[in-house]
Structure 1
Amino acid sequence: MIEEKTPAFWRATLALCCGSFMIFSNLYVTQPLLPEFQQAFGISTLQANASLAVATLMLGISLLIYGPLSDALGRRGIMLITMLGVVLTTFALACSPNYTFLVILRALQGFLLGGLPAIAIAYMGDEFSKKALAVAVGIYISGNTLGGIGGRLFSGFMADAFGWQASFLFAAALSLLCLLIFWWALPASCHFKPKQISLPGMLKDLGSHLRNPLLISVYLLGGLNFFIFINLFSYVTYLLADDPWRLGSSLLGMLFITYLSGTLAASISGRVAAYLAQPLCMALGVIILMLGSLLMLIPSLWAILTGLLINSFGFFFCHSNASSWVSRQATHARASANSLYLVFYYLGASTGGFYLDPFWKALHWPGVILGSLLILLITLGLSLWLWRQDPRSLSQIN
């Protein structure tokens, strides 16, 4: 097993972080380009948003396939093949002749983007010792946050300077570099035990995870937290684009720099979990997220920015612990278990806006915060229930 602080540990975590950065920078690369697409293709706002929504949707669907498939065929090879596909589709996106072709390519790219996140934590669960696992997952998720920030930032700057096609060309070149580092650095699987490919067996594994109350609870916790977190960012852009702030689109895009506090939170989450039961770490993350949301009720730009920083820290602290906890709880088919967590996670991201919209229309920004707190009270309750139900968590603090 790979132990913490060994050369193999640092090589594996470097590879997985590069892969994570590549995946999430490509997923969010179109977000700053939506106005560019509207102007270039003469489309509506809703149509422009499809370039992001379809990729997220296909990523979520693909997770149900890659996880069980990797339980049968192995981890490393599938991750490499899908990452190569991402590089090729990103290059192709720069040559899109029309918007319909671009959206179709984004759907294909989204499906390929699911290969690494569906499998990476299962790979760590196979190859890392339990002590090293929590630390490695935290570092890996910090790569998620850096990818989300980096994709949005370089895409916007490249589009302003050279046009939207340059954003995809730059993303493809950077992705190729990440792929080469991943291929060189990631150790081969040594402890993977393949299962025979069987659709009934895959469905049985998925069903057993969904019947496990400890797993379904953390799936709901992760999905509902992202349901609120990512959509708070959407509604705060509407708030800050209006009076009295009137921030432009470039400044609004830079709001995602506040994800950096999430990078810090993810990187330290495993070390905190060495002293505090992981469900309690999840509860602490939710409480921090609630406090940051309350702070954003103060009608001050600095209070809102500070609230976003606090929210990012709390969310990613909770998410890191929830992700590694799924691998620890799953007694079989770990990739399937982690895939289900991410399916709930991305479904939450896709649907949270529909939930918050009535609160926005009825009470404006205070309504969004109210709606958010109602859901966060549920996730806080789930984390505390997990702490009481999981005997390993109880023994950890005795």
Structure 2
Amino acid sequence: MPTSVHAMKTSETAAIPGQKHYLTRGTGAYRRASLALFLSGFSTFSLLYCVQPLLPIFSQQFSVSPAESSLSLSLSTGFLAVAIVCAAAVSEGLGRRSLMSISLVGAALLTIATAFAPNWHLLLVIRALQGLVLGGVPAVAMAYLAEEIDPRGLGATMGLYVGGTAFGGMSGRVLTGIFAEYLTWRPALFIIGAIGLAAAIGFIALLPPSRNFVRRPGFDPRFHAKAWFGHLTNPALPFIFAIAFLAMGSFVTIYNYAGFRLVAPPYDLNQTELGLIFTVYLFGIGASSIGGLLGDRIGHFSVLLFGLALTAAGSALTLFASLPVIILGITVLTTGFFMSHSIASGLVGKLAHGTKGHASSLYMLAYYVGSSLMGSAGGWFFAVEGWVAVVIFTLAMLALAFVSACFAQQFARRKA
């Protein structure tokens, strides 16, 4: 490992200030970068969310409540949120490519270790560590794209990266559900970890070295604090961060507790059937790419508002008792969410003034804090008042996200 890390460090090229050498569409380097970032999104989200279809199993096997079982996901996303802030600072000295590579390999190995956890508490510890390790990917990947990709095609490329996260989220959920049905949950997690490790190796082999990144040796707390504070005083960016918190919180809440509803009467779905519902993530993959392209052409805020409205409509559809309508609702919710996330994450790079890695880290911090806090809070609503309360909770968050998008649009226009 030390040799490989050294090789990754030396592969990062220091940019000459003032000169930009972007990866442009149609070149081999652009295609390799796009595929590598797709693999990073796939690996990150498949490893992160592979436990979601297992929450009812964890609740039964370890004798914990639905809200407690959600800790296997919420702890990972919570520690990931903290790690993302640190990752932005670390990547300034270590390099974008190096940090992402180390994180992907480490997270895959920890997923394999989860399969051997002898008790509930150790499983939670491993999942928390996995969140810390994965922090080196999401914000840094967004910064890499914002720095290295030609701004004229950034929306489409960001959409492809978010599509990779959607494909990973789907694969982790679907494959884990199927494997758990036939092999039990431990072999299922082992296999998902092995797949993540293969994706990490592909990422390392494909991603071109940074060409516009300027390394900052050492650690200067004042520099990082000033960078974060600068983004928080940007009139539009805090509203984009609020959208990340609220939209992700609503999305994860629906996905966390839909399983508990659907494995119970009158639906009585098994793990394979429950896992297959998550194939609706395919719509998220398409929505991410289409949303990015539409944003580049007709306006990012118009597409963002439409995506949030679509997410709310999908959440409301799950109130119906019919299983096909519930699945339709989850499909619409997924489509709207990934369209919104693709646009919002791209807007961070466009609206930020310099230190884009720090801006991305704040966006992803809000994103995963929303997942962790709101995802667990939804369990309280589910336990007290059932599914109707869960949907009301998510609709309230999405209404606030819509208002935040309107404010962000106004401030962005004034700035322009």
Aligned length: 394
Question: Which residue pairs with 2:87 in the alignment?
Answer: 66
1:146 is aligned to 2:167: yes
Deviations 1:201-242 (A, max 9, x none): 112211221222211010001111111122123343344345
Contact map agreement 1:25 1:147 (CA 8 A) in 2? yes
Please say if 1:131 is aligned against 2:191. Answer: no
- Say if 2:184 is the partner of 1:155: no
Q: Tell me whether 84-93 or 265-274 shows the greater mean CA deviation.
A: 84-93
The CA RMSD measured in Å over matched residues stands at: 2.4
Cα offset, 1:290, TM superposition:
2.2
Give the Cα separation in 2 of the matches to 1:172 and 1:335.
27
The answer on whether the counterparts of 2:280 and 2:331 sit within 8 Å (CA) in structure 1 is yes
User: Does the C-alpha gap of structure 1 residues 33 and 293 become closer, same or farther in structure 2, counting only changes over 3 Å?
Assistant: closer
Greater CA deviation, 34-43 or 274-283?
Answer: 34-43
Tell me the distance in 2 between the aligned counterparts of 1:299 and 1:56. Answer: 31
- 1:382 partnered with 2:374: no
Paired AA for residue 230 in structure 1 = V
Q: Which residue of 1 aligns with 2:228?
A: 206
Separation of aligned partners in 2, 1:40 and 1:92: 18
Query: Which one of 98, 109, 112 corresponds to residue 91 of structure 1?
Result: 112
SS at match of 1:122: helix
Match of 2:274 in 1: 252
2:3 equivalent in structure 1: none
- Which one of the candidate residues 373, 390, 394 is aligned to 1:368? 390
State the distance in 1 between where 2:354 and 2:49 align.
Answer: 32
The answer as to whether partners of 1:4 and 1:131 remain within 8 angstroms in 2 is no
Shift of 1:109: 1.5
- Matched with 1:106 is 127
Check 1:95–1:307 CA distance in 2 against 1; reply closer, same or farther (3 A cut): closer
Task: Give the direction of change, closer, same or farther, for the CA distance of 1:235–1:393 in structure 2 (3 Å limit).
Answer: farther
Contact 1:134 1:270 in 2 (8 A): yes
Residues 157-187 of structure 1, C-alpha deviations (whole Å, 9 max, x = no match): 2233333332232123212211221111100
Task: Look up the SS of the partner of 2:216 in the other structure.
Answer: coil
| Residue in structure 1 matched with residue 203 of structure 2 by the alignment | 182
Q: Identity of counterpart residues, as a percentage?
A: 32
| d(CA) in 2 for partners of 1:54, 1:240 | 24
Partner of 1:234: 256
- Alpha-carbon distance between aligned partners in 2 of 1:100 and 1:359, rounded to the nearest angstrom: 24
Partner of 2:6: none
Q: Corresponding residue for 1:268?
A: 290
Letter of the 2:184 counterpart: G
Question: Is the contact between residue 11 and residue 187 of structure 1 (CA under 8 Å) also seen in structure 2?
Answer: yes
158-167 or 301-310, larger mean C-alpha shift: 158-167
Tell me by how many angstroms 1:331 deviates: 1.2
Deviation at 1:249, TM superposition (A): 4.2
Paired letter, 1:137: M
Return 55-64 or 170-179, whichever deviates more.
170-179
Query: Does structure 2 retain, via aligned residues, the 8 Å contact 1:82–1:115?
Result: yes
Partner of 1:336: 358
Q: 1:220 to 1:81 in 2, by over 3 A?
A: same
Letter in 1 for 2:93: A
Amino acid at match of 1:229: F
Please state whether the residue corresponding to 1:274 is helix, strand or coil. Answer: helix
- Name the stretch that deviates more: 245-254 or 227-236: 245-254
Query: In structure 2, do the counterparts of structure 1 residues 100 and 239 end up closer, same or farther at CA, with 3 Å as the change threshold?
Result: closer
2: CA distance, partners of 1:393 / 1:271: 23
Q: Distance in 2 between matches of 1:10 and 1:128?
A: 11
- Structure 1 position 327, deviation (Å): 0.9
TM-score normalised by the chain length of structure 2: 0.87
**Unpaired stretches in structure 1, ≥5 consecutive residues:** none
CA contact (8 A) 1:142 1:262 kept: yes
For 1:300-339, list aligned pairs within 5 A. Answer: 300-339=322-361
Partner Cα distance (1:111, 1:331) in 2: 27
Please tell me the residue identity of whatever aligns with 2:294.
Answer: V
1:9 to 7, 23, 30: 30
Out of 88, 98, 102, the residue aligned to residue 77 of structure 1 is 98
